[in-house]
Amino acid sequence: MPSTLLSRRDLRFLLHEWLDVTRLTERPRYAEHSRETFDAVLDLAERVATERFAPHNRAADLTEPTFDGQRVRLIPQVKAALDVFAETGLLAASLDSSVGGMQLPHAVSAACFAWFQAANVATSAYPFLTLGNANLLLAHGSAEQVDTWVRPMVRGRFFGTMCLSEPQAGSSLADITTRAEPQDDGTYRLHGTKMWISGGDHELAENIVHLVLARIPGGPAGVKGISLFIVPKVLLADDGALGARNDVVLVGLNHKLGYRGTTNTLLNFGEGVHRPGGRPGAVGYLVGEPHQGLAQMFHMMNEARIGVGAGATALGYTGYLKSLAYARQRPQGRPVADKDPTVPQVPIVAHADVKRMLLAQKSYVEGALALVLYCGRLLDEQRTAPAEADRDRARLLLDVLTPITKSWPAQWCLAANDLAIQVHGGYGYTRDYDVEQHWRDNRLNPIHEGTHGIQALDLLGRKVTMRDGAGLALLVDTIRATVGRAWKAEGEAAELAARLGGALDRVSLVTRRLWERGDPELALANASVYLEAVGHVVIAWMWLEQLLAVEAATGPTDSGDDVAFYAGKRQAARYFFRYELPRTGPQFDLLESLDRTTLEMREDWF
């Protein structure tokens, strides 16, 4: 039975037949690896995700974490699964071998982790957060901080969190108020409240390493005065042994629509419940220089946001495969051309409208997965391309693609989950099938790590204007190169290339038009429409790339399975270009007209 979590065949196609990840092994960083080691790690990820993570996905949703005022309790399967995950070493899949990592390419490690996100996004959130935390410290922490905090995280002894949000400051981090008072011994004492902190309290690991944004008194106002601190739940003695409780307390758990197996917390720092050294205040250690906290956080944002896009994709993907399996076995109705009630019913997958819903899902989730892995490949280029110009190029392209890679899957793989429910009919609306949970879990993704609206402002307000538009120019040129290859390929690829070329012209024109008056309020009024239109153009590009890879891979000796796989890819590309890309026409029209409807809407007219 093929997995209903992800498609191994699709991963093989994307990683090997399209992105050719094995070529990376020619570079020193990946020289220890081979196609065999990549495939072995993917096998391991599939097996552990299937056997340890998927089985308690529903149970962790039904039995939420509880807090009795002293301890947080989760169902035991969560810890059991995370212990096995730690043993596999997969947490450190892409990290340097010097800190115990496997030094796998990002494209491969993202594919591995997608198995866990598809199997159980809530349990996989703990290592996801821990890896984000470890990456941040590896980039900005001192050698001592890496030794003290990162090494135990890599081994699964400590888990990590990211503490940015406060009750009054979510999108606007300029307004955080948590303060960090410098102490004579070089440490800081933190006081304040952090809201929405995922993995903020639990007993799944020996310690929790909070990375906290806070203000050092006297620093500049706004984002320029924010610093980053390590604030452990349990302080360490000089020999590294666990010591006294730090002054970080759980006020309560948030009760969420989805992602229920991940504790989500309101934390108080420095309330005085615990008194390290006999005084109130949460002991914190500054990371890097003062007032660099947000810049440090943003440094790692690309990876975290691509990870959120990957999670959204994985949830969409498993919903698609489950609705496909359901549609193949659910008999209902007869063909339009043959309604004879004496002949057996057909499975719903035979109906054109059900095929439409399945094709839509397929085009969203496979398009999104291609984008996520492409960005993983760009991270690898940014890190290891031999020429500096190629590393810069990858960095710039990644900067422009990041808001899209976070937001497009969050919107459209959620739409895929909605369609997966629809394919199940009434059963999809019950808790007897997984698809409703996938939808609820996925509903978080347009909200956290920067909302949809904030990603839109990032794309149109920063990314396409930075360096005099160099990022957008690079994106357009890169897509244009694919269009050029498709022209040469002739046939259907050339036909789709013509459509993509037309949409691409509009991206350039509309972006110029939006900014030509130099009025940010007007330019950004419809930033979300812009994000969505450009996102669709980018996914159309991903589909044209896949079509070209299919044409390069197909041959007369293909097995029956391969013939069907490649035909499915072609049909999904066709679907995306015929049903989805045309949506951008009215969006670009609206943007080009510099429409002021939202701007002119007065608050008292609602």
**Contact residues for ligand FAD (CB under 6 A)?**
161-165, 170-171, 196-198, 256, 259, 264, 444, 447-448, 451, 453-454
Angle between helices 301-329 and 388-423 (to 10 degrees): 30
| 453 burial level (CB within 10 Å; 0-12, 13-18, 19+) | middle
Cα–Cα dist 326/516, whole Å: 51
Q: How far apart are CA 256 and CA 260, in angstroms?
A: 6
Q: Which residue has the tokens 């390493």?
A: 209
CB 581 within 8 A of CB 537: yes
- CB of residue 137 to ligand FAD, shortest distance in Å: 16
Residues with Cβ within 8 Å of 128's Cβ and at least 6 positions away in sequence, in order, are 113, 117, 307, 311
Q: Is the Cβ of residue 105 or residue 199 nearer to ligand FAD in the bound state?
A: 199
Given the residues 303, 366, 449, 580, the one annotated as active site: 449
Report the 10 Å Cβ neighbour count for 278: 5
Inter-residue contact 378 to 404 (CB < 8 Å):
no
197 vs 475, beta carbon nearer ligand FAD: 197
Q: Which residue is nearest to ligand FAD (CB)?
A: 170
Closest CA to 63 of 77, 49, 83: 77
Closest CB to ligand FAD among 135 and 363?
A: 135
Indicate the residue among 362 and 443 with the shorter CB distance to ligand FAD.
443
* Residue 596 Cβ vs ligand FAD, minimum distance, rounded to whole Å: 16
Contact between 134 and 163 under an 8 Å Cβ cutoff? The reply is: no
Name the residue with tokens 């969420």.
Answer: 256
The least distance separating ligand FAD from the CB of residue 163, rounded to whole angstroms, comes to: 6
d(CA 33, CA 22): 8
Strands 188-198 and 179-182: antiparallel
Interatomic CA distance for residues 506 and 495, integer angstroms: 18
Residues 150 and 141: beta-carbon distance below 8 Å? yes
Q: Which is nearer to ligand FAD, 141 or 200 (CB)?
A: 200
> Helix, strand or coil for residue 294?
helix
DSSP run (H or E) holding 234: strand 234-236
In the bound state with ligand FAD, the residue whose beta carbon lies nearer, of 101 and 192, is 192
- CA atoms within 13 Å, Cβ hemisphere of 482: 26
Closest CB to ligand FAD among residues 115, 196:
196
Nearest alpha-carbon partner for 395 in 461, 458, 457, 474: 474
Q: How far is the CB of 574 from ligand FAD (least distance, A)?
A: 34
**Least distance to ligand FAD from the beta carbon of 559, Å?**
44
Tokens for 524, please give them: 């950004």
Rank residues 170 and 225 by Cβ distance to ligand FAD and give the closer one.
170
Q: How far is the CB of 166 from ligand FAD (least distance, A)?
A: 8
Angle between helices 301-329 and 106-119 (to 10 degrees): 50
Asked if 239 and 297 count as a contact pair (C-beta separation under 8 A), the reply is: no
Return d(Cα 66, Cα 75) in angstroms, integer.
Answer: 10
Nearest distance in Å: CB 128, ligand FAD: 10
**Active-site residue flag, 289:** no
Tell me how far, at minimum, the Cβ of 101 lies from ligand FAD, in Å. 23
Q: How far is CA 284 from CA 58, 185, 270, in A?
A: 37, 11, 10
Q: Give 447 or 494: the residue with its C-beta nearer to ligand FAD.
A: 447
Q: Are strands 207-215 and 158-163 parallel, antiparallel or unpaired?
A: parallel
In sequence order, what DSSP letters do the residues of 501-559 get, joined into one string? HHHHHHHHHHHHHHHTT--HHHHHTTHHHHHHHHHHHHHHHHHHHHHHHHHHH--TT--
Identify the residue whose tokens are 């002054």.
247
- Of 162 and 230, CB closest to ligand FAD: 162
Write down the least CB distance from residue 82 to ligand FAD, Å: 17
Least CB distance from residue 472 to ligand FAD, whole Å?
A: 21
Q: With contact defined as beta carbons under 8 Å apart, do 241 and 207 qualify?
A: no
Annotated catalytic sites, by residue? 449
